[in-house]
Structure 1
Amino acid sequence: MIIATAGHIDHGKTTLIKALTGVNADRLAEEQRRGMTIDLGFAYGRRNGLDLAFVDVPGHERFIRNMLAGVSGVDAVLLVVAADDGVMPQTREHLEIVDLLGLDQGVIAITKADMVDADRLTEVELEVSSLLASTGLRNSPIQPVSGITGLGLDELTDHLRNLAPETSLQSADKAFRLAIDRVFTIDGAGLIATGAAHSGQVSVGDSLRVMPSGSLVRVRGLRAHDKPVTTAGRGQRIAINLTGVGRDEIGRGDWLAAPHLDLPTDRLDIRLRATQPLRHWDAIRFCHGAAVHEGRLALLETKSITSGETALAQLVLGGPVQAVHGDRFVLRNAGNITTVAGGTVIDPFSPKRGRAKPERLALVRQLADLDLIDGAIAELTATRNGFDLSLYSIGRGISPDTQAELADGLPAVTIGGSLIDQDRWTSLKTEITEFLSRYHQEHPDKAGAGRAELADIGKSAGLSGPAFEAVINRLVSNRHLGRAGSAIALSGHKPRLAPADQKLWKTCETLFAGAGLRPPRVRELAEELGLEPKVTERFLNRCVGAGLVLKVADNRYFPPLVLNRLGLIASELDTETQGAFTVRDYKDRSEIGRNLTIELLEFFDRTGLTHRSGETRRLKRSPEELFSTGENPET
């Protein structure tokens, strides 16, 4: 259990922690000289059988940023109010921040109780109770104590013990995330990063990423609550001995996270509660974890809100952050003088366009309150171009195992890297099947419909081109559909050439087979068939419709099998050159000559197999996808 202190300067927070643990949390020489906490302090101890881990935060208003870093990821709060002063400005500000961060487990310690009489104690307790009434700490126990005489320390320990069952729950489905609040080096050990683990577990030998930079590091050693361990996790303050990163590449405000969470963001959908009036596009500071980021607040439902109101908004930040659904945060004004709001991250990967469209707002409202499974179902139902489960899982901060379990339980079909709702999938499959059935009846001599002819189905379903292509690919992979060249047909469909064309094709098929990777030109075929070139070309165009050949250039037609083999050469070169092969590379590998190489590569560019950039090309799609071989026409 991690407990953060909160309260006004000089109210005895550090003295109380020392009385409970025996540790002086003021670690800096200046702090000890001035008797004032400036930066975060840490203390671990055991009292009356209870292990305690404290983060001591500064009470002075100038160090509120350090206070915010200290309360990130803690389980409970120890709010300290001095009996002589009572409630003071930083008492109110710290309590406001604690409440905005959703901390509702805590104990209130009335310090310096030995310095006042009973009437004064009663007065302060009533004042504190009134202050707590509208916050999550309203039911928290209030205990008078003295860090000097030991008054009330045993009772305070008992109150802290009662918090433990509610704040030590682990979440096995979450991936490891830790907000770094301190980085230093130790002779003989190397680099150490410390912080509160927000979720998951980490073990010695694990790999992690420093976020948002993405640097990969390895865990060399661990200490949890100042004790050496081999595994640590949520609910613990952890010191991690790291290798693989330099001291200047990591610091307070960064995160250590499971490697698969390596996807920073700069736009987040949030739900906030204002403590000051706010307007659309106000400049703000986003206090999250141990970091502060500058940005803008885009209100999604209104142009302005007043203190106490809640609203949906999008944060547009000046740089990348690591955040997941459910993360708590505080917003400060642009000058970092005043706390203006706090809230919860709903979607860390919100869109750049259409953020305030009614359908998007309806989804965001749902996601704000839905658990992992129901949230996935809501996204699945609402997302027209396929639900990206991987992105959703990263945004929820879950482990790969949990993502796999989630995928198995969703009523969805996988297409490409996305999911489509089962009902929508069934509807699409039916519509495509009915279209192709009609097409085959109307065009029995053709191998199938082209992509352009099928495209209207995808458009009417609201699918993007790539999403609809993924639907077709899935139907082909499960053998519901087939490809013949670039044509799409129902599985088992055979085009019917006229008897005369069938006879000509048998001769052409033999000629193509004997030519290898250099099929004969139209003029050469015409001579072999005893036909005029124009007549031969019209015949070959009918063969194109039947899916038997594709027109590569004005005077060349290639069977799909040959194009597939030539496409595989492009695929090999793409791998070897890392996506930068030239005409000469292809000519030398294929041995088909320079002129034919140029014609062929230009055809590959037109069909989308390759993309040309200057003098080089890279592969865009697989040859099997574009040049699948069809069956012979019916005889």
Structure 2
Amino acid sequence: MNNIIIGTAGHIDHGKTTLVKYLTDVNTDTMKEEKERGMTIDLGFAPLITPDGQIFSIIDVPGHEKFIKNMVAGAKGIDFVLFLIACDDGIMPQTIEHKEILKLLGIQHGIIVLSKRDLVSSEKVEELKKEISSFFDDNFFKSFPIVEVSNKDEHSYRILYNKIIEETSKIAKTISEKNKFFRLDIDKVYSPKGVGTIVSGTSEGTISKGDFLTLYPHKIQVRIKAIQTHGKSVDTIVSHQRCAFNISGVTAKEIERGNVLTNHPALLNSRLIDVLFTPLNNETIPKNNTKIRLNIGTGEYYGKIKYLQDCIDKNIFFQLIMDREIPVNFGDIGILRSLGNSTLLGGIRILNTLAVPTKKNNPSYLKKLDFLLNKDCIDISDYLLHKNSFITLTELNQELNHSYNLNNFNENILIIKESEILIHKDIFLLIKNDILKYITIFHEKNSLKKGIPIATLKNKFFLNNSIKTFNDFLIFLSKDTFKIKDGVVSLLDFKIKLSKEDKIIKDEILVLLKQNSFKGLNFNKIEDNFIDKNRFKNIFFYLISEELIIEISNNRFVLKGFYKEALKRLSSFFISNSQITLSEFRDILESNRETALIYLEHFNGTYITKKILVENKGKSCFYINKGL
């Protein structure tokens, strides 16, 4: 069965709700406020039964400018539009705006309905048709047939009904179940007493009663307890159907319009999104950092834009920087309006939900977006070649809205199976050589350092990758190339070698510290003994890295031997004692009170001892054994 979603569009009070009632015998104005005010505030839905028994869904969307966001929400999933223009009013402001929105949303099939035919003369109708022909001179809606209806002529609606069946039959063959995954953009949520949580929307994909879905942006798993379509209970729902779910696992208060139910692994919550922007016209191209409102799916969100390239034609790459994370997927289409006066700016198509900050006119980044723009004909090997980095299988599927597995790639792609990391072999060799060159230069400039901290390499080459993914890739990359030890990376054959001058300074530092035994010396006092300050610092920090000298307090250092001896004497004391005082440790070290206090505070900070106060002994301070 092919299901079709039919939407209405047009200026306020041009007869959309009346038209739906004539076609379906359903009044879609169900809200009390709607009935009182005589206008459609929210989305209304009705079943249109075809001669062969199929049920198409008609979405009656608002026409008032104030409720334009609901019109965009209604357009989500629309296959066919009934575009109303009242014969007495003609083309009005919202007529124009709805036409532009439908064009931006890519809706290409429908009928132009001239309502209220009985209120004007035949000459007036002909003038309107000429105006419409001129109005649609950009070929959009150009092929739409025109049908006249009148509230005083029910047969006119029968003619319209037959035309709808005829026109939808032309597109029904092109609508098929292409969605491997299910998605429902929620446009209504309520909780009838004794029933639980009910959500509704237009289906994409197939799902059944009892199945589990994830609610975004919450990332809460819910279970489908029951399914209805147009008031009838069903066990399974397929694409292009209006449906309502009774779900468990979440309350109605936790859900709002714009939330998404899906089992699609590529859907993400994102605040930074790469998009292709198509402006309405040259006057609606916003400036960089313009604050906007985004209508996408059934939600409305706020943020600002950042241009990724100079504005050279009608299609522009830029980033949306949202004020909060929103649920989006590759290929989603939305409408941008200015935040201040709500002016329609244009449409966007999401290309990358894993966007990262980048400079304007970055050639490699723009090349990636060009690939994503033409995703249907992407060569994955070529895509990874221009990506110029590695990527996980999950990230690739999220970027391309696909479901690749590790068996889908050719011999040009290197696969790290344990971590499911992919990289083009040519890029792998380039990165490997770049890192080797970087490490070599580092060793030349820092001959007394063991190597480069892993974090430094990540920030240099892989700033936008996760730490875990980077570490997995680095370990694979390092095989037979360089070594990773104690959090630093170095060449396989690298060893620290001291020059004669270095060795002299090293010995002088050690002698100075030896002369001061347990007491040690302040860094500045040691430095004062050397003329070449830079060489001194290099040697000094080398000695620290080799753990030949130990920092026992802020900027005070001792030889490793004295530090270990102090620890040994403390350990021996604790063999027969459970606690030690400052004066006792002073005597053990054969030093002064200040030095003993520095050591005990250091041991306390490293959890070797624990400092306690005893009130009944005049607040005397004791240290008890904790980690020896």
Q: Normalising by structure 2, what TM-score? A: 0.67
Does 2:304 align with 1:296? Answer: yes
Summarize the alignment of residues 552-567 of structure 1 with structure 2, pairs less than 5 Å apart. Answer: none
Equivalent in the alignment of 2:413: 412
Equivalent in the alignment of 2:16: 13
Shift of 1:410: 7.8
Equivalent in the alignment of 1:224: 229
* Aligned 8 A contact 1:102 1:136 in 2: no
Equivalent in the alignment of 1:203: 208
Change (3 A) 1:265 1:30: same
* Aligned 8 A contact 1:324 1:396 in 2: no
The 2-side partners of 1:241 and 1:395 are apart by: 32
Equivalent in the alignment of 2:168: 161
One-letter amino acid of the structure 2 residue matched with residue 358 of structure 1? P
Equivalent in the alignment of 2:290: 282
One-letter amino acid of the structure 1 residue matched with residue 106 of structure 2? G
Does 2:48 align with 1:45? Answer: yes
The 1-side partners of 2:85 and 2:377 are apart by: 39
* Aligned 8 A contact 1:114 1:149 in 2: no
One-letter amino acid of the structure 2 residue matched with residue 59 of structure 1? G
Change (3 A) 1:205 1:13: same
One-letter amino acid of the structure 1 residue matched with residue 413 of structure 2? A
The 1-side partners of 2:328 and 2:228 are apart by: 25
* Aligned 8 A contact 2:452 2:489 in 1: no
Equivalent in the alignment of 1:60: 64
The 2-side partners of 1:68 and 1:27 are apart by: 20
The 2-side partners of 1:468 and 1:295 are apart by: 31
The 1-side partners of 2:430 and 2:279 are apart by: 45
Change (3 A) 1:213 1:171: same
Q: 1:321-356 CA distances to partner (integer Å, 9 max, x unpaired)?
A: 111121111111113532111121111221123364
What SS does the corresponding residue of 2:91 show, helix, strand or coil? coil
The 2-side partners of 1:99 and 1:204 are apart by: 36
Equivalent in the alignment of 1:93: 97
* Aligned 8 A contact 2:114 2:147 in 1: yes
* Aligned 8 A contact 2:375 2:400 in 1: no
Does 2:138 align with 1:137? Answer: no
What SS does the corresponding residue of 2:22 show, helix, strand or coil? helix
What SS does the corresponding residue of 2:155 show, helix, strand or coil? coil
The 2-side partners of 1:192 and 1:361 are apart by: 43
Summarize the alignment of residues 347-358 of structure 1 with structure 2, pairs less than 5 Å apart. Answer: 347-354=352-359, 356-358=361-363
* Aligned 8 A contact 2:393 2:405 in 1: no
- Aligned with 1:271 (options 264, 267, 276): 276
Change (3 A) 1:94 1:259: closer
Q: 1:17-45 CA distances to partner (integer Å, 9 max, x unpaired)?
A: 11111111111123223322121111113
* Aligned 8 A contact 1:97 1:330 in 2: yes
What SS does the corresponding residue of 1:371 show, helix, strand or coil? helix
Change (3 A) 1:425 1:124: same
Equivalent in the alignment of 2:388: 384
The 1-side partners of 2:305 and 2:356 are apart by: 15
Shift of 1:427: 7.0
The 1-side partners of 2:386 and 2:476 are apart by: 21
Q: 1:81-104 CA distances to partner (integer Å, 9 max, x unpaired)?
A: 122222111111111111111111
Equivalent in the alignment of 2:619: none
The 2-side partners of 1:254 and 1:237 are apart by: 16
Does 2:111 align with 1:104? Answer: no
The 1-side partners of 2:396 and 2:431 are apart by: 24
Shift of 1:53: 0.5
Counting matched residue pairs gives 478
- Aligned with 2:376 (options 371, 388, 395): 371
The 2-side partners of 1:193 and 1:615 are apart by: 56
Summarize the alignment of residues 234-253 of structure 1 with structure 2, pairs less than 5 Å apart. Answer: 234-253=239-258
Q: Normalising by structure 1, what TM-score? A: 0.66
Shift of 1:114: 4.0
Summarize the alignment of residues 174-189 of structure 1 with structure 2, pairs less than 5 Å apart. Answer: 175-189=181-195
* Aligned 8 A contact 1:285 1:336 in 2: no
Equivalent in the alignment of 2:319: 314
Which deviates the most, 129-138 or 34-43? 129-138
The 2-side partners of 1:249 and 1:123 are apart by: 52
One-letter amino acid of the structure 2 residue matched with residue 157 of structure 1? I
Q: 1:429-473 CA distances to partner (integer Å, 9 max, x unpaired)?
A: 89999xxxxxxxxxxxxxxxx995999xx99x9667977754564
Q: 1:187-230 CA distances to partner (integer Å, 9 max, x unpaired)?
A: 44311111123x43322222222211222211112223543222
Summarize the alignment of residues 398-547 of structure 1 with structure 2, pairs less than 5 Å apart. Answer: 398=402, 402-404=403-405, 407-408=408-409, 411-415=412-416, 416-425=419-428, 452=451, 470-471=472-473, 473-474=475-476
What SS does the corresponding residue of 1:266 show, helix, strand or coil? strand
The 1-side partners of 2:434 and 2:95 are apart by: 65
Q: 1:216-256 CA distances to partner (integer Å, 9 max, x unpaired)?
A: 21111222354322222332222111101111100112111
Equivalent in the alignment of 1:573: none
Equivalent in the alignment of 1:76: 80
Unaligned runs of 5+ in 2: 437-448, 494-544, 550-604, 608-628
The 1-side partners of 2:326 and 2:377 are apart by: 22
Equivalent in the alignment of 2:525: none
The 1-side partners of 2:199 and 2:25 are apart by: 24
Does 2:199 align with 1:193? Answer: yes
* Aligned 8 A contact 2:268 2:353 in 1: no
Equivalent in the alignment of 1:582: none
Change (3 A) 1:168 1:187: farther
Summarize the alignment of residues 540-619 of structure 1 with structure 2, pairs less than 5 Å apart. Answer: none
The 2-side partners of 1:484 and 1:340 are apart by: 52
Does 2:343 align with 1:338? Answer: yes
The 2-side partners of 1:363 and 1:267 are apart by: 16
* Aligned 8 A contact 2:229 2:242 in 1: yes
Unaligned runs of 5+ in 1: 434-449, 494-550, 556-613, 617-635
The 2-side partners of 1:278 and 1:204 are apart by: 45
The 2-side partners of 1:296 and 1:68 are apart by: 19
Equivalent in the alignment of 1:519: none
Shift of 1:423: 3.6
- Aligned with 2:36 (options 33, 36, 46): 33
* Aligned 8 A contact 2:48 2:56 in 1: yes
The 1-side partners of 2:433 and 2:364 are apart by: 26
Equivalent in the alignment of 1:120: 124
Q: 1:143-194 CA distances to partner (integer Å, 9 max, x unpaired)?
A: 2233552312343333443354256222244x32221110012344311111
One-letter amino acid of the structure 2 residue matched with residue 131 of structure 1? F
What SS does the corresponding residue of 2:347 show, helix, strand or coil? strand
Q: Cα RMSD between the aligned structures? A: 4.0
The 2-side partners of 1:12 and 1:409 are apart by: 57
* Aligned 8 A contact 2:34 2:40 in 1: yes
* Aligned 8 A contact 2:111 2:164 in 1: no
Equivalent in the alignment of 2:589: none
One-letter amino acid of the structure 1 residue matched with residue 175 of structure 2? S
The 2-side partners of 1:129 and 1:83 are apart by: 14
The 1-side partners of 2:258 and 2:489 are apart by: 53
One-letter amino acid of the structure 1 residue matched with residue 317 of structure 2? L
Change (3 A) 1:167 1:250: farther
Give the percent of matched residue pairs that are identical in Structure 1 and Structure 2. 32
* Aligned 8 A contact 1:384 1:462 in 2: no
Shift of 1:56: 0.4
